[in-house]
Amino acid sequence: LIAVFAVPVCAESTLHEQIDAALSSGNPQYEKQVATPADDATFLRRITLDLTGTIPSAEKVRAFVADSSADKRVQEIDRLLASPEYARRMQYVFDTMLMERHPDKHVPAKDWRNYLRQAFLDNRHWDDLVQEMLTVDGTDEKTRPAAKFLLDRELKAEQVTRDLAQRFNSLFGETLILPESRVLDTSAKVPGIDGEKMSKSYKNVIEIFEDPKKQRKKVMSIKTDSAALEDPKDPETCAVYALYRLFASEEQQAELAQRYRAGGMGYGEAKQAVQDAALEYFGPARERREQLAADTDTLNDILAEGARKAREKGKQVLDRVQTACGLGSKHLAK
């Protein structure tokens, strides 16, 4: 459902104006969908229950019915949408809808719910809110609550994208192309310095282009077991060896694995081998990065062209999505 809320409405007119225009267009397909106008008391009860999950008091109903203002219904809707009660109800709705029964793992539920409630109090746009949930990585404490949607699922971005596309297609028909992962099985999971999956969100990464001295410090801090120097060690269960396999040749891997099993080698020596192999492997990439960083004009041109292509592709997808949802003036005018 998050995919549905991520779709922005066409800016030519507001959504309720488009709906009103469609219903009054004389199109036969809409004639049976027009309900009889509700009286004031019924309207207030319905709108209050829908927006806040509560029923208005008898005193509130009497005051609303007695109000002779021509725009009192619009005013009441605006008041409810700006109320703490609306924000609290939507917080519960979105918490249940987005997190389902996923247990707390990386972001406390309290922080997540406070984030949702504040978003509704601030009247944030749907597309901005969804974009934040799908792009933040949890490294910034200010935006970390928004990362709960991804972090607590412990899913890769491409898997979340696939799940959302499948959900959207199930609601609106085959509209979105399901992405296919191209990650090699042998390197699908890269361990971090704590032995868990490497992720900026978990603050356990070894950055490719950081200063070699800082990089070495992180490599030397990789978590290992307490085996003594002379003890044989199992390379297949060691995060250090798992990282080494990413950069070393098969011959080098076999040689280090043999030294693991023979004993007499400490983890510090293995970590240094990882550092040396990584520096050699990414050496050309480091040089290329330095060249690009020094030529800001070319770099900005590349970024601008990439942004243009992304907008062009994105507009094509958005047009299909809006058509499938029935949003946009062109669709409603038919």
Within-domain flag for 10: no
pLDDT score at 5 = 45
Domain check: are 55 and 97 in the same one?
A: no
- What integer pLDDT is reported at residue 156 of this predicted model? 67
pLDDT, averaged in runs of 10, over the chain (334 residues): 43 70 75 79 95 95 95 94 94 87 84 94 88 85 88 74 85 87 66 88 88 94 93 94 93 96 95 95 93 91 94 90 73 47
> Which pLDDT score is estimated for 186?
57
Both 108 and 72 in one domain: the answer is: no
Asked if the structure places residue 59 within a domain, the reply is yes
Residue (of 15, 7, 6, 11) closest to 129 by Cα position: 6
Tell me, yes or no, whether 320 lies in a domain.
no
Domain holding 253, by residue range, is 186-207+210-281
Does 234 lie in the same domain as 169?
no
pLDDT for residue 329: 47
Give the DSSP per-residue string, 164-206. HHHHHHHHH-S-SPPP-----GGGS--B-TTSSB--GGGT---
pLDDT for 120 equals 93
Q: Which of 32, 54, 81 is the last residue of a domain?
A: 81
pTM, entire model: 0.56
- Domain check: are 77 and 90 in the same one? no
Structural domains of the chain, count: 3
> Do 118 and 164 belong together in one domain?
yes
Q: Is residue 315 one of the residues assigned to a domain? A: no
- Same-domain status, 139 and 92: yes
Say if 120 falls within a structural domain. yes
Of 53, 81, 109, which marks where a domain is finished? Answer: 81
Same domain, 274 and 190: yes
Task: Identify the pLDDT of residue 159.
Answer: 76
